[in-house]
């Protein structure tokens, strides 16, 4: 059961901010008891906060300026999750007399204050997240700000089935372990039971050693990972020489103290059925939501509010650790849908010959909506292989999907209209495998260099592209639709296959112009080629798959291979040629020259498996070269939280959950009912505004909710089909109107106009940066975006 720690006393701080008022008053009007000292504030005129109403400004400005608000110091409140929250009361005065002012807060998700006008107002935390909130008092265009730091605390011993989010993470049957995306959408055995031994609990509080002698270390996640908000909780995986555990303690803490939680857990009950060791455990979903909603926000001293995880492991009455990692949480919620390709899904059966199960498997396009725990079937179905739908592309606005049909009809393609009601298929008269789709879904650029109207597939006039290339590999449009990037397969120039080209594009005329070579591998070792390019949201840079070994299929394909020994890493380049193409080392798994942070196996997995009938089980069976098994990048079109977000295919180890040899992913060559293939989708953050020639990447995380038992590839994270005015939303990029604002009941709904007709918040619509409320925001691909990195 859950035991929430109680903390209602107000903590003391000492630093004053620049320009803050000096006052002898301290701790005045603090609800819930306690004292507070120190802090800081800022005052400004011309703020967009401009309260109106009786008692505010009298007859239009006759009241002299110069009011003050007490307490002026930073107020720090400790709030126990699930308990009544203490409050802070503020009083506005002018010349020592109360004066009515308007009140507001900058972060309504943290708490609320009555709007007034009134001379006193009380701020009450919601108690669901921690962080720094600014209380604003406004009078005649003058604004006075006061800060409150909410410190949310919680603790638990064992899973709490009464919490719906945790109930979904408790495995009660072995079939749950590999169904869909696995337990909690991330695999593993789910949450453990309460630790009932007082001796074990005491050992977890007083470890016998730091675990160094036992070689205790994390396998997943990776230190330094950047997470967005709104994701499913990750699965913590570790290894150590004892190989099993009786109990663990997990701690989550932010740098500022805005959130802290401790959880102790015994072995998940399902392990008594499976007989497996206790080597992994998820973070409870409700705890993860509180932690990531709290981390990443502003802090009193301006430093990043990072999140640290610590793990202590107990075995036979002794505990070891803790081991720790520190992560960055981007202050943005990634919404949208991920569409990806599966050649081994259980959601459609259109091929025979699978080694495991009933001998059937499917090729199809699946989707994951942010927050789901399992994928859904979008394109493809049961029957013969003509029902296979693969080789897909998706428009940035999420309105259009292109696919190729299966082997019996491989020359046929189809376009799908994607709407909230579902997907509608339209057969195309022209084959369009891996075609580029314009951001609005209206145009396709095929590998043959043709322009097609969608969904009709009518050919459109075009010019200019054949001056550079006669055959394109895997083209892609920029998010603003004004450029294309492609790897040429043939063309009039020298070594076209070794180059990555960018050209300007005019959608009205179909003209391509001003070719720029941004990557040139002429003179590099045989097999080195660029491919699978994708633009970053600002349309100024490109990430791409940099092949170093084509594997045993040969090197004649425009869609560079990812199987049968093919090796590649991801890299990026500016489209203006101002910098050399640079590997995304941290994304790929490197932490220094010749060094990797990715785990490997101490002994090879002995497994016989084939891909297309070719033996591949002995290729890097210890996963020593996972840094060169990263492929097919795509990019979320919306910059969020100071980052661009890259989705890619990788054959790396997924901790200790997916460990078979990297190229064992063909259902006809390996039992993918009994074994979890490592061919999976991963996501990594890329710094915005990075200097060309540097590495702007960060360690990646496993994409939750992808099908655990299938090989998954080429995920497109695109916008939701847009929602109409009044529909529920989380962010403005989900809405046709571009804005997501509180409705009359306080719940977020889509709006066709900015709040108060004034300005746009992050992930809301903009034409220029001047449309954004925060002057430090940029307008990237039509949405306000926080500058990065944090």
Q: What are the extents of the domains in the chain?
A: 10-151, 158-333, 337-718, 732-785
Q: List Cβ neighbours of 446 (8 Å cut-off, separation of 6 or more).
A: 430, 431, 432, 435, 452, 472
Residue 460: the pLDDT is 97
- Tell which residue, 426, 438, 432, 467, has the closest CA to residue 450: 432
Inter-residue contact 444 to 454 (CB < 8 Å): yes
Q: Cα(419)–Cα(526) distance, rounded to whole angstroms?
A: 45
Q: Is 718 helix (H, G, I), strand (E, B) or coil?
A: strand
HSE-up of 159 (CA within 13 Å, CB side)?
Answer: 24
Backbone φ and ψ of 467, nearest 5°: -75, -15
- Profile the chain (790 residues) by mean pLDDT over runs of 10 residues: 32 31 29 30 33 36 69 96 94 96 92 94 96 95 95 98 97 96 98 98 98 98 98 98 98 98 99 98 98 96 96 98 98 93 96 96 96 96 94 96 83 92 93 95 97 96 96 97 97 95 97 97 96 97 98 95 98 88 98 95 93 94 98 97 98 98 98 97 96 95 98 96 89 91 84 82 93 92 83
Q: Is 306 helix (H, G, I), strand (E, B) or coil?
A: coil
Residue 746: is it exposed, middle or buried by C-beta count within 10 angstroms (0-12/13-18/19+)?
exposed
Q: Is 326 helix (H, G, I), strand (E, B) or coil?
A: strand
Domain 337-718 belongs to what topology? Methylamine Dehydrogenase; Chain H (2.130.10)
The reply to whether CATH 2.60.40.2130 applies to domain 10-151 is no
Q: Do domains 158-333 and 337-718 have the same CATH topology?
A: no
Q: What is the pTM of this model?
A: 0.91
Angle at 503 (CA atoms; ends 497, 504), nearest 5 degrees = 170
Inter-residue contact 92 to 56 (CB < 8 Å): no
Domain 158-333 belongs to what topology? Immunoglobulin-like (2.60.40)
Q: Cα(496)–Cα(279) distance, rounded to whole angstroms?
A: 49
- Tell which residue, 483, 410, 473, 421, has the closest CA to residue 781: 483
Which residue's entry shows tokens 């927050």?
Answer: 371
Q: List Cβ neighbours of 273 (8 Å cut-off, separation of 6 or more).
A: 174
Q: List Cβ neighbours of 271 (8 Å cut-off, separation of 6 or more).
A: 189, 277, 278
Dihedral over Cα of 513, 517, 519, 521: its sign: positive
Q: Is 192 helix (H, G, I), strand (E, B) or coil?
A: coil
194 preceded by a cis bond (ω within 30 of 0): no
* Token pair recorded at residue 451: 């322009």
- Tell which residue, 540, 61, 40, has the closest CA to residue 300: 40
Helix/strand/coil (H/E/C) assignment for every residue in 729-775: CCCHHHECCCEEEECCCCCEEEECCCHHHCCECCCCECCCHHHECCC
Q: List Cβ neighbours of 765 (8 Å cut-off, separation of 6 or more).
A: 732, 737, 738, 739, 754, 771, 782, 783, 784
Q: Cα(316)–Cα(253) distance, rounded to whole angstroms?
A: 28
Backbone φ and ψ of 70, nearest 5°: -120, 145
Residue 790: the pLDDT is 56
Can you give the C-alpha Rg of the chain in angstroms? Answer: 28
Inter-residue contact 760 to 771 (CB < 8 Å): yes
Q: Cα(158)–Cα(539) distance, rounded to whole angstroms?
A: 47
Inter-residue contact 613 to 676 (CB < 8 Å): no
* Token pair recorded at residue 476: 């892609």
Dihedral angle of Cα 207, 209, 213, 214, to the nearest 10 degrees: 0
Could you tell me whether strands 443-445 and 436-437 are parallel, antiparallel, or unpaired per DSSP bridges? antiparallel
Q: Cα(121)–Cα(137) distance, rounded to whole angstroms?
A: 9
Residue ranges in 54-207 assigned as alpha helix (H): 164-167, 198-205
Backbone φ and ψ of 249, nearest 5°: -125, 130
Residue 198: is it exposed, middle or buried by C-beta count within 10 angstroms (0-12/13-18/19+)?
exposed
38 φ/ψ sector (left φ>0, alpha ψ -120 to 50, else beta): left
Which residue's entry shows tokens 């081994």?
Answer: 344
């Amino acid at each position: 059961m859950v035991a929430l720690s109680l903390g209602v006393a107000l903590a003391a701080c000492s630093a004053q901010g620049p320009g803050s008022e000096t006052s002898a008053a301290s701790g005045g009007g603090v609800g819930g008891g306690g004292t507070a000292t120190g802090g800081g504030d800022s005052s400004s005129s011309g703020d967009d906060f401009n309260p109106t109403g009786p008692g505010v400004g009298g007859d239009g400005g006759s009241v002299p300026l110069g009011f003050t608000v007490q307490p002026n110091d930073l107020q720090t409140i400790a709030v126990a999750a699930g308990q009544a929250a203490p409050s802070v009361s503020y009083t506005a005065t002018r010349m020592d007399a109360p004066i009515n002012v308007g009140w507001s807060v900058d972060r309504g998700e943290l708490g609320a204050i009555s709007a007034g006008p009134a001379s006193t107002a009380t701020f009450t935390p919601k108690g669901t997240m921690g962080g720094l909130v600014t209380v604003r008092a406004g009078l005649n265009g003058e604004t006075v700000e006061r800060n409150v730091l909410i410190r949310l605390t919680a603790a638990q011993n064992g899973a709490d089935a009464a919490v719906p989010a945790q109930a979904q993470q408790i495995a009660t049957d072995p079939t749950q372990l590999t169904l869909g995306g696995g337990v909690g959408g991330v695999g593993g055995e789910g949450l453990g039971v309460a630790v009932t031994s007082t001796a074990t609990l005491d050992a977890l509080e007083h470890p016998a050693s730091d675990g160094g002698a036992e070689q205790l270390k994390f396998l997943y996640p990776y230190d330094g990972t950047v997470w967005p908000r709104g994701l499913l909780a990750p699965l913590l995986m570790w290894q150590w020489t004892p190989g099993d555990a009786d109990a663990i303690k997990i701690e989550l803490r932010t740098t500022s103290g805005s959130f802290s939680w401790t959880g102790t857990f015994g072995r998940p009950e399902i392990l008594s059925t499976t007989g497996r060791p206790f080597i992994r455990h998820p973070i409870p979903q409700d705890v993860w939501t509180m932690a990531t909603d709290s981390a990443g926000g502003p802090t009193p001293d301006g430093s990043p509010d990072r999140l640290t995880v610590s793990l202590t492991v107990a075995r036979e009455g002794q505990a070891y650790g803790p081991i720790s990692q520190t992560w960055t949480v981007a202050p943005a919620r990634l919404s949208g849908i991920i569409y990806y390709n599966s050649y081994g899904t259980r959601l459609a059966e259109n091929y025979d010959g699978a080694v495991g199960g009933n001998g059937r498997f499917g090729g199809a396009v699946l989707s994951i909506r942010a927050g789901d725990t399992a994928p859904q079937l979008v394109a493809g179905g049961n029957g013969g292989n003509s029902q296979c739908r693969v080789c897909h592309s998706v428009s940035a606005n999420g309105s259009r999907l292109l696919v190729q049909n299966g082997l019996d009809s491989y020359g046929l393609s189809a376009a799908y209209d994607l709407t909230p009601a579902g997907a509608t298929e339209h057969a195309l008269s022209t084959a369009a495998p891996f075609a580029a789709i314009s951001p609005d879904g209206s145009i396709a650029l095929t590998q043959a260099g043709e322009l097609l109207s969608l969904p009709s597939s009518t050919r459109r006039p075009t010019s200019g592209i054949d001056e550079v290339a006669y055959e394109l590999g895997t083209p892609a449009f920029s998010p603003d639709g004004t450029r294309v990037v492609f790897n040429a397969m043939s063309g009039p120039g020298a070594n076209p296959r070794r180059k990555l080209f960018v050209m300007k594009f005019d959608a009205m005329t179909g003209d391509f112009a001003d070719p720029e070579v941004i990557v040139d591998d002429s003179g590099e070792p045989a097999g080195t080629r660029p491919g699978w390019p994708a633009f970053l949201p600002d349309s100024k840079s490109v990430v791409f798959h940099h092949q170093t070994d084509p594997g045993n299929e040969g090197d004649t394909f425009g869609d560079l291979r990812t199987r049968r020994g093919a090796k590649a890493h991801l890299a990026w380049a500016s489209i203006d040629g101002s910098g050399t193409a640079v590997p995304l080392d941290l994304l790929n798994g490197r932490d220094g020259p010749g060094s990797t942070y990715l785990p490997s196996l101490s002994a090879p997995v002995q497994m016989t498996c084939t891909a297309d009938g070719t033996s591949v089980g002995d290729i890097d069976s210890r996963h020593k070269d996972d840094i060169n098994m990263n492929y097919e990048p795509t990019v979320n079109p919306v910059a969020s939280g100071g980052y661009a977000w890259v989705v890619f295919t990788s054959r790396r180890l997924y901790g200790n959950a997916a460990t078979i040899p990297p190229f064992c992913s063909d259902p006809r060559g390996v039992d993918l009912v009994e074994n979890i293939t490592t061919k999976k989708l991963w996501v990594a953050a890329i710094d915005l505004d990075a200097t060309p020639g540097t590495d702007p990447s960060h360690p990646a995380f496993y994409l939750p909710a992808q099908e655990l038992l299938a090989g998954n590839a080429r995920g497109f994270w695109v916008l939701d089909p847009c929602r109409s005015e009044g529909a529920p939303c989380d962010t403005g990029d989900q809405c046709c109107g571009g804005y997501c604002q509180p409705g009359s009941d306080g719940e977020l709904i889509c709006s066709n106009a900015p709040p108060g007709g004034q300005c746009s918040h992050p992930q809301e619509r903009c034409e220029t940066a001047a449309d954004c409320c925060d002057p430090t925001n940029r307008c990237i691909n039509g949405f306000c975006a926080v500058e990065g990195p944090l």
